Structure 1
Amino acid sequence: MVLNGIGGRTIAEAKASLTYNEALSWMAYVEQNGSLNWGLRIERGAALLATILNNVHGGKANFDDFLPKRGEPEEEVGASAQDLFALLQSVKR
């Protein structure tokens, strides 16, 4: 596949032949249009669609609610003795 004259080359060869102006053009394109990674673009599109459908049907979800969490530590919720006792009381027969 030939794409802007770099088709058939290795990544190292393409990087070596990339001019400064071409690099600036690609940086401007990525800044305006987002990542070139197709997987991330598809995930964002699916999240957008899920958000729209959720909101149309009365939901209150945000766009970020439908994106996968990557590298973000999950919050640890600590339970006190009072919380545990209240939970046990709620399931009492």
Structure 2
Amino acid sequence: MFGMNTERERNSKPMGGGLGYMLLGAGVAAWWLSKEENRSKFDRFLNTTKNKISKEPVPSPENFPVLKAGNPDPEDIADNKMVEEGSQFGVHYYDEKRTKLE
């Protein structure tokens, strides 16, 4: 018993260990944002970051599939095979729905 920690002392965590760091960070942020110049810098940073994240990638003009539409290359075997097979998805879907109703 003497000199040994009890079960409760071994399993307990120090209370409020991260709270001090959070309060310190909030205080530093409040001090830094108290200046108008820093607020405008932070606002610009947030807007540019939001624009970078929300931007959809634009394909390069040479890889854009619509430019190829209506003018297929006779040497593009994979494309010609796809066009030859045609799309059966719509027909298959309609047939499934019709057979389920009957």
Is TM-score (shorter-chain normalized) higher than 0.5?
no
Per residue, is there more helix in 1 or in 2? Answer: 2
**Which structure is richer in relative contact order (CA contacts within 8 A, separation 6 or more)?**
1
> What TM-score comes out, normalization by structure 1 length?
0.28
Calculate the TM-score normalised by the size of structure 2. Answer: 0.27
